[in-house]
Amino acid sequence: MTVPRKVAGFHLPPLPTVGEIIKLFRLKAQKQLSQNFLLDLRLTDKIVRQAGELKNAHVCEVGPGPGGITRSILSAGVEQLLLIEKDARFIPGLQMLSEAAPGKVRIVHGDILTYKMEKAFPKHLKKNWEDEPPDIHIIGNLPFSVSTPLIIKWLENVSKKDGPFIYGRTQMTLTFQKEVAERLTANPGGKQRSRLSVMAQHLCTVENRFVIPGQAFVPKPEVDVAVVHFTPLAQPKIQQPFALVEKVVRSVFQFRRKYCFRGIETLFPESGRLKRTEQLMMTANVDPTLRPFQLSMSHFRNLCDTYRKMCDEDPSLFVYNYREELRQKKMGRNLLKSTGQPDEIEEEDQL
CA distance 78 to 10: 9
187 annotated as a binding-site residue: no
85 annotated as a binding-site residue: yes
Q: What share of the chain is helix, strand, coil (3-state, %, to 5)?
A: 45, 15, 35
CB atoms within 10 A of CB 30: 11
- Asked if residues 143 and 177 have their Cβ atoms less than 8 Å apart, the reply is no
CA distance 63 to 70: 10
| Strand ranges in the chain using DSSP code E only, listed in sequence order | 5-7, 10-12, 37-38, 58-62, 80-85, 105-109, 136-140, 171-177, 204-212, 217-218, 225-232
79 annotated as a binding-site residue: no
Element of type H or E holding 179: helix 178-185
CA distance 67 to 340: 65
Which candidate, 184, 157, 283, 219, places its Cα nearest to that of 27? 219
36 annotated as a binding-site residue: yes
Name residue 176's beta-bridge partners: 226
Extract the annotated binding site: 36, 38, 63, 85, 111, 141
Extract the annotated binding site for S-adenosyl-L-methionine: 36, 38, 63, 85, 111, 141
